[in-house]
């Protein structure tokens, strides 16, 4: 059974700092990995999707890497802003016929302070 | 593109009543939708896979007679929580797979259910 773990569980940084969020998974036979952002009481916003054949994806100040063989992914946020405060979830998918099921990590609650 | 909506965004009901939650893909057709449940400060747990025109597939430990799923069209899936109890209070989120991008799920904004 796939298990996804995120470290740290919570993180507080001052504005402007660069930071790294970690995600690890136990079964390397994944189809892809996604990073999401969730604001309190809200749904999920997809940030980055990395296919299993890729090693990284970038979008603006965000960069996600994937090392499938070691079961790890990192989300790098450059020049953090208070608006980045949210819970960040990683999720890995397994292919099941015509659809891909996601297994979510435990999340990292990020607080960026002024 | 690839927008998913949910209705209602929140609902409060009495114990023993049934509640229906709708999930719609607004600008694409979705042959497959997923239903998740999220308890406070916990991650999302997959409840079931909803396939258009066929029966839903439930994850282990999820009661199919309690959580009824209907996927009657390519843009609508419904989750009905039957005879709701306080322990069913949770945040329910759906997602949909766009046929041309079958490896990516698009999520709805969630529905907060509170059972008194």
User: pLDDT tens for residues B35-45?
Assistant: 999 998 888 99
User: What does the pLDDT read at residue A36?
Assistant: 95
Q: How many CB atoms lie within 10 A of CB A100?
A: 21
Query: Which of B34, B43, B97 is the closest to A106 by Cβ?
Result: B43
Q: Do A107 and B106 touch (CB under 8 A)?
A: no
Which residues are B23's β-sheet partners? B6, B77
Query: Which of B43, B102, B112 is the closest to A104 by Cβ?
Result: B43
Distance (Å, whole) CA A31 – CA B102: 11
What is the 3-class SS of A84-99, one letter each residue?
A: HCEEEEEEEEEEECCE
Tokens 């009543």 belong to residue: B17
**Closest Cα in chain B to A89:** B43
Distance (Å, whole) CA B33 – CA B71: 8
A59–chain B Cβ distance below 8 A for any pair: no
Q: Do A46 and B106 touch (CB under 8 A)?
A: yes
What six digits make up the tokens of A110? 């990020």
- Strands in chain A per DSSP E: 4-7, 10-14, 19-25, 32-38, 44-51, 56-59, 62-67, 72-77, 86-96, 99-104, 108-113
Query: Strand, helix or coil at B43?
Result: coil
A44–chain B Cβ distance below 8 A for any pair: yes
Tokens 């999920």 belong to residue: A44
Ranges of chain B whose pLDDT falls below 70 = 1, 99, 101-103
**Closest Cα in chain A to B91:** A41
Sequence-separated (6 or more) residues with CB below 8 Å from residue B61? none
Query: Which of B44, B46, B103 is the closest to A32 by Cβ?
Result: B103
Distance (Å, whole) CA B98 – CA B68: 23
Asked if residue B57 lies in contact with residue B51, where contact means CB atoms within 8 angstroms, the answer is yes
User: pLDDT tens for residues A20-42?
Assistant: 999 999 998 888 899 999 998 88
User: What does the pLDDT read at residue A101?
Assistant: 84
B81–chain A Cβ distance below 8 A for any pair: no
8-state DSSP, B42: S
Sequence-separated (6 or more) residues with CB below 8 Å from residue A42? B109, B110
Give the pLDDT of chain A (114 residues) as one tens digit per residue.
899 999 999 999 999 999 999 999 999 888 889 999 999 888 899 899 998 889 999 999 999 999 999 999 999 999 999 999 999 999 998 866 555 789 999 899 999 999
Q: From chain A, pick out residues whose CB is under 8 angstroms from the CB of B105.
A: 34, 100, 102
Distance (Å, whole) CA B45 – CA A20: 25
Rg (alpha carbons) of chain A, rounded to whole number: 14
8-state DSSP, A26: S
């Amino acid at each position: 059974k796939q298990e996804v773990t995120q470290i740290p569980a919570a993180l507080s940084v001052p504005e402007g700092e660069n930071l790294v969020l970690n995600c690890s998974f136990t079964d390397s036979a994944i189809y892809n990995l996604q990073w999401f952002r969730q604001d309190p009481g809200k749904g999920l916003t997809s940030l980055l999707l990395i296919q299993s054949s890729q090693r990284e994806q970038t979008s603006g100040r965000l960069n996600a890497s994937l090392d499938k063989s070691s079961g790890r992914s990192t989300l790098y946020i450059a020049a953090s802003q208070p608006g980045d405060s949210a819970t960040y979830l990683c999720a890995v998918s397994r292919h099941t016929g015509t659809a891909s099921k996601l297994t979510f990590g435990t999340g990292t609650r990020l607080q960026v302070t002024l | 593109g690839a927008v998913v909506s949910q209705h209602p965004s929140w609902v409060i009901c009495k114990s023993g009543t049934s509640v229906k939650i709708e999930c719609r893909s607004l600008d694409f057709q979705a042959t497959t939708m997923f239903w998740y449940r999220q308890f406070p400060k916990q991650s999302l747990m997959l409840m079931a896979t909803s396939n258009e025109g066929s029966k839903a597939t439930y994850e282990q430990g999820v009661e199919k007679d309690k959580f009824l799923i209907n996927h009657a069209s390519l843009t609508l899936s419904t989750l009905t929580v039957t005879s709701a109890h306080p322990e069913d209070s949770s945040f329910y989120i759906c997602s949909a797979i766009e046929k041309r991008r079958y490896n990516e799920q698009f999520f709805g904004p969630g529905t907060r259910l509170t059972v008194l």
